[in-house]
Structure 1
Amino acid sequence: MDRVISRIASTSTWSPHHAIFYQDGRVIRLGLTELDAMARRAARWLRGLGVSPGDRIGICARNRLEWVLLDLAAIKLRVVTAGFEHGAFQLDAEHLRRYGLKLIFTDGATDADGFVDIRRVTAELPESPLEQETVIYADDDATTLKFTSGSTGRPKGLAATVGSIDSSIDAVQELFHHGADDRLLVFLPLSLLQQRYWIYSAFHYGHDVVVTGHEFAVYACKQERPTVVMGVPSFFDALKAQIEAKAAAQAPPDADGAERLRALRRCAADMLGGRIRYLWTGSAPAKHEMLRFFEDCGLAIYEGYGMNETCIVTKNAPSAHRPGSVGKALSRKQILIDEDGVLIVRSQHPVNRRYLFCDGEEAQRIFRDNGDVVTGDLAHIDEDGYLYIRGRADDIISLGNGKNVFARPIEDLAKRCRAIEECVLFGAGRPHLVAVISPAAGEADNDAIGRHIAWVNAQVSGHERIGAFIVADDRFSTLNGLLTSQGKPRRARIKQAYERRILQAYGDT
């Protein structure tokens, strides 16, 4: 296994490759050699702020050069970074205390004690770098804290071990062989540790990396011509719609299927820069129609599976790809199914064996004594080792008549309609299901939604039918807190937001 993190910590990098940042209305292009030198200067600057080995610093900012500099500098200093998703946290002095943070770096000016404007990182870089020291991390050392939601609503912490990071990056490299001709696009929040993997990978394996925000991802594709784009399914759903709209405007009304397909392929290549080697998706269920669309456009798209507690577990890849599955287990990972059909993940290098900042009982539900992770996902493994995710164990809704309904397949049927972006079912202890629907972009087409729900009901058993549906006032999004940063619906929050209308659907006042 390659020692990726220790090499970044200890070695001055020479590389012909580049990191490219889209931020503040401009583009910053840096050689990786220059980026590494800036990170060593940033490490010296952090020392000047009183940050020492073993300290923790928090970062809550949009994707930008300064985020990356702080992360790399922290690795060189043996300082732990805690990445907070921008817009999801309202940070205050209590967070400094609760998470044991020396400082928190944020977007925008601030004079609050312990908070630092992240733009100061580049504005105040010293001329001379931190003197290079040999820093060797053990597998069980941690470089970063990542956060996952809990039943109480207060995020639980996970101290991600160096072994888990090195192992994941190495396993992905075994599958995809990123190299000198590659340019990887990163646009999901850098607070998600996996997004920083591709920066570490650029240094270790030698390739370009482009860092931007979600809002500039498509624009950056056209300008920078990446070979690899990694996004959640909702991003590719939106991209599919854009490609279809553009192709429809180009193809004549009487175009046959072959001509329409050529138009789709031209538009897809144009929007993504024309150099795509493959597309990567995961973190949430992907629609079969979306995956098939990109394959038809001549773009390989590979779905995988992972979670905060396990990192990347399985992945489809050029050497082993089975549509409908989320791939085979990565090296140094083992997948098992327990007697209840729940997926268990065993790792040679676990992310960790416990949570931080929560009671032990919650950790015991997820982490077994031997380090295995109880994912809570219902799954099966076929005879060739491919993993299929059926949904969450807690997605089973027990109706008032004693019948159990597995929500995800019905929700997936509902999302086949172009007018429906997301569908979330409720009905525990009730006589029938109620769906809360996030409409597609534009004005909600209630008639089309109603017709499609009737079609869904014709496909399922009587107790699985949707007795009523509610069209959300606003589309689910990360901004209104109804989607996670990976594009997954937040069921509890959606129920809370539409509780009055759900009660009305059951005739309650």
Structure 2
Amino acid sequence: MASITRIFDFPYHQQDEFNSIPDALASKQNGTWIKVSTQEYIAKANHISRALLQLEIKKNDKIAIISSTNRPEWHIMDIGILQTGAQTVPIYPTISEQDYEYILNHCEAKYCFVSDIELFNKINAIKSKLPHLKDIYSFNSIDNCKNWNELLKLGESNSNQDEVEARKSSINTEDLATIIYTSGTTGNPKGVMLSHQNIVSNVLGSAPRIPFEAGKSRALSFLPICHIFERMVLYLYQFYGVSIYFGESIEKIGENIKEVQPTVITAVPRLIEKVYDKIYAKGADLTGIKRKLFFWAINLGERYEPYGANGFWYEFQLKIARKLIFSKWQEGLGGKLEVMVSGSAALQPRLSRIFAAAGIPVMEGYGLTETSPVIAVNDMRNFGFRVGTVGKVIDNVEVKIAEDGEILCKGPNVMMGYYKNETLTNEVITDGYFHTGDIGNIDKDGFLKITDRKKEMFKTSGGKYIAPQLIENTMKQSRFIEQIMVIGEGQKMPAAFIQPNFDFIIEWAKKNRIELDTNHENLIKNEKVIARIQKEIDTINGKFGHWEQIKRFELTPDIWSIESGHLTPTLKLKRKNILEKYQTLFNKIYQ
């Protein structure tokens, strides 16, 4: 096997190891799954490289890709760009026009590739403010917009393939490969510079943790490729010869899972919570013995410990639960799902136990864009799985805990720095260690546990530290609570903004014959709803120290979303934005 040192080596490795996989990349078009073989993937990437050289793309030029869906074109463009020594700049499709203008000017992008007319219109509207941008291309067919097929046609002749090969040979593993602009909650986005080595080392370091049957597994991809988590995993799939099917949209994931029957998916905790909520809702609607069996299985799952630690009698019951109840979960998720890989935020330990009990373990990992991204990951097989942790640190990566509890990371996965911002780079990297901003600890067996974000922890006026993420994650176990943000920095007590689970509350009201105005503005004022959520808060508060307990809360009528500015593209809370949106509620709580 030839050594892999640069990102564009992955498809060639796939071809060498597994011949040409017929469905290396696949997407659904007009109701049909269109498959791209490894051979076609490589051929088209070379077409793109040859065309870009004819457009006089030079080493270290920047080319942006903005796509509202995952698709084979993204990867073909990515490899085609990287082979020329230029850099890929992936951009989220949901950011503001102002952020597009900032990013495209900051990286001095020469070309921009968009997926559809909506994104084309956004970029075209600011094109006059982008002096470095030569042109916009689209993957979809759009009037008055160049199409990426024009580049494929331009690169059909292999007359300049020697020039492509020369460019490839000139690219070192330490060279810059991509700039990823992080979705900052304050100020302008930061451009994280990742080299080929950063990402390749992370793929190879993570590879032994993932239980793939090389050349025989199938993945469904729906998290944004512009995020380093999904992008790195997609390179990992290519390394293992995994067939990659791109989901149509988040809304169609249920349908796509049944069609594709994947053996692996990646997800963020919020999506796993939603999957569980749907399963739970169906179980709650059962009657008689079926309902009793369902909740017996849930109760069993909540007590799950790996490696048979609960003993023979528990394992015997679990075998029955898997046959009678959990097998139905498997069927609902396509019937062949073996593992879910979770990243971006902390997963509720309860869900980790339940899905592992169901035979669909969630491999929870941890990392940041600046660490390419993986630092640690749980693994049911070789390296150990421990509920409530993010597993053991991967190969070639070193982690130490600073005196204040901050997690520091060192290794070939640590970014080159922030683009055009040496000052900020020097603030976060000292002696080769990247300061993650997360607080955590490593137990005696080497398992890493994250307790909170350093910047998100706060002190009450009484001098007590509050770790909001831990409280929020526990509170979200209530089916009445969709989203929650703990507040109270410098105040006498912690409180919270809560977005209720409106759909569940409406169902709850029907079952309990409670008259309820379903308009969100009126629903959150309903005394019975408020009292029921108070009961949930009171119950969960018992798990925390007196100083950590939520003393007051206010319900919000909005659905917290990316579009409305409550959440980042990876579904984390935009705390500053939320605080600004609900300043009136904040004043109501504390004044």
Aligned residue among 21, 31, 36 for 1:16: 21
For the residues of structure 2 that align with 1:255 and 1:351, how far apart are their CA atoms? 50
Q: Which has the larger radius of gyration?
A: 2
How far 1:34 moved relative to its partner?
A: 1.1
Counterpart residue number, 1:494: 578
Q: Residue 259 of structure 2: SS of its match in structure 1?
A: helix
- In the alignment, is residue 478 of structure 1 matched against residue 549 of structure 2? no
Tell me, in whole angstroms, the C-alpha distance in 2 between the residues paired with 1:92 and 1:493.
Answer: 19
TM-score where L is the length of structure 1: 0.91
Structure 2: gaps of 5 or more residues: 140-146, 298-320, 507-523
Query: Separation in 1 of the partners of 2:246 and 2:6?
Result: 20
Q: Greater shift after overlay, 442-451 or 170-179?
A: 442-451
Tell me if 1:38 matches 2:44.
yes
- 2:22 and 2:83 map into 1 onto residues whose CA distance is 21
Mean Cα deviation higher: 480-489 or 442-451: 442-451
Quick one: which of 68, 79, 84 aligns to 2:75? Answer: 68
* Structure 1 residues 199-348: aligned runs within 5 Å: 199-212=234-247, 213-248=249-284, 252=288, 255-257=291-293, 261=321, 262=323, 264-310=325-371, 311-317=373-379, 318-319=381-382, 320-347=384-411
Cα offset for 1:338? 1.0
Q: Name the CA distance, whole Å, in 2 between partners of 1:273 and 1:338.
A: 44
Distance 1:239-1:128 versus aligned 2 partners, 3 A rule: farther
Cα distance change on mapping 1:39 and 1:501 into 2, 3 Å: same
Following the alignment from structure 1 to structure 2, what is the Cα–Cα distance between the partners of residues 146 and 159? 7
Contact conserved, 2:399 with 2:408, CA < 8 A, in 1?
yes
1:422-501 equivalences in 2 (<5 Å): 422-442=483-503, 443=506, 445-501=529-585
Shift in CA distance, 409/207, structure 1 to aligned 2, threshold 3 Å: closer
- 2:136 pairs with one of 116, 119, 128: 116
Return the letter of the residue paired with 1:98. H
Which of 197, 204, 215 is the equivalent residue of 1:170? 204
Report how far residue 328 of structure 1 moved: 0.3
Specify the code of the residue in structure 2 equivalent to 1:446: I
User: Aligned partners of 1:9, 1:78: CA distance in 2, in Å?
Assistant: 17
- Counterparts in 2 of 1:452 and 1:357: CA distance versus 1, 3 Å: farther
Match of 1:190 in 2: 225
Cα separation, 2, equivalents of 1:88 and 1:218: 26
Query: Given the superposition, is the C-alpha separation of residues 93 and 244 from structure 1 closer, same or farther in structure 2, using an over 3 Å criterion?
Result: closer
Cross-structure match for 2:482: 421
Deviation by residue 1:484-506 (Cα, 9 ceiling, x = unmatched): 22221111111111112111211
- 1:8–1:75 Cα contact (<8 Å) kept: no
Equivalent-residue separation in structure 1 for 2:409 and 2:263 (angstroms): 30
Indicate conservation of the 8 Å contact 2:472/2:484, yes or no.
yes
> What's the Cα RMSD here?
2.6
**Rounded Cα–Cα distance in structure 2 between residues aligned with 1:393 and 1:92:** 29
Aligned residue in 2 for 1:128: 157
Cα 1:433–1:328, aligned 2, differ >3 Å: closer, same or farther? same
Are the structure 2 counterparts of residues 51 and 441 from structure 1 closer, same or farther at C-alpha, using a change threshold of 3 Å?
Answer: farther
| Deviation digits for residues 133-166 of structure 1 (CA, Å, limit 9, x no counterpart) | 1524323111111122446421101111111111
Name the CA shift for 1:380/1:26 in 2 (closer, same or farther; >3 Å): same
2:425 counterpart residue number? 363
Gaps of 5+ in 1: none
Report deviation, 1:96: 3.1
The 8 Å contact of residues 13 and 239 in structure 2, kept in 1 or not, is answered as no
* Aligned-pair CA distance for 1:224: 0.8
Question: 1:292 & 1:4 partners in 2: Cα distance?
Answer: 37
Change (3 A) 1:462 1:95: closer
Q: CA deviation at 1:325?
A: 0.9
SS of equivalent to 2:418: coil
CA contact (8 A) 1:96 1:103 kept: no
- The DSSP-based 3-state class of the residue aligned with 1:5 is coil
Give the C-alpha shift of residue 358 in structure 1: 4.0
- Once residues 264 and 316 of structure 1 are traced to their aligned partners in structure 2, the CA distance between those partners, rounded to angstroms, is 25
Identical counterparts, % of pairs:
25
How far, CA to CA, are the matches of 1:128 and 1:400 in structure 2?
70
Would you say the 8 A contact 1:453–1:466 is kept in 2?
yes
Q: Deviations over 1:377-435 (max 9, x none)?
A: 11111111000111112232211233332323322332221111222111112122220
Measure the CA separation in 2 of the matches of 1:8 and 1:57: 20
Note if contact 2:4-2:10 (Cα within 8 Å) is conserved in structure 1.
no
Q: Which amino acid aligns with 1:484?
A: T
Normalised TM-score (structure 2): 0.79
CA shift in 2, pair 1:68/1:494, >3 Å:
same
Contact 1:314 1:326 (8 Å CA) reproduced: yes
- C-alpha contact 1:221 1:272 (8 A) present in aligned 2: yes
Q: CA separation of 1:410/1:198 partners in 2, compared to 1, >3 Å: closer, same or farther? A: closer
- Could you say if the C-alpha distance between residues 227 and 433 of structure 1 is closer, same or farther in structure 2, counting changes exceeding 3 Å? same
Report how far residue 89 of structure 1 moved: 3.9
Structure 1 residues 61-113: Cα deviation after superposition (integer angstroms, max 9, x where no partner): 12223222211111221110111111124265554322211112223245546
The answer to whether 1:398 aligns with 2:459 is yes
In structure 2, C-alpha distance between the alignment counterparts of 1:377 and 1:12, rounded to whole Å: 36
The aligned residue for residue 310 of structure 2 is none
Contact 1:246 1:267 in 2 (8 A): no
Deviation at 1:116, TM superposition (A): 1.4
Higher-helix-fraction structure: 2
2:368–2:374: 8 Å Cα contact kept in structure 1? yes
Supply the distance in 1 between the matched residues of 2:196 and 2:152 (Cα, whole angstroms). 27
1:180 to 209, 212, 215: 215
CA distance in 2, matches of 1:211, 1:123: 23
Does the 8 Å contact 1:12/1:36 carry over to 2?
A: no
- C-alpha separation between the residues in 2 aligned to 1:280 and 1:428? 34
Tell whether the 8 Å contact from 2:263 to 2:339 is kept in structure 1 after alignment: yes
Is 2:8–2:79's contact at 8 Å kept on the other side of the alignment? Answer: no
Q: CA deviation at 1:359?
A: 6.3
SS of residue in 1 equivalent to 2:187: coil
Q: Is the 8 A contact 1:344 1:374 kept in 2?
A: yes
Q: Assess if the C-alpha contact under 8 Å between 1:350 and 1:371 holds in 2.
A: no
Determine whether 1:138 maps to 2:143: no
Whole-angstrom CA distance in 2 between matches of 1:117 and 1:252: 58
How far 1:457 moved relative to its partner? 3.5
Per-residue deviation, 1:216: 2.8
Quick one: distance in 1 between partners of 2:476 and 2:94?
27
The equivalent of 1:3 in structure 2 is 5
Cα 1:380–1:281 change in 2 (3 A) is same
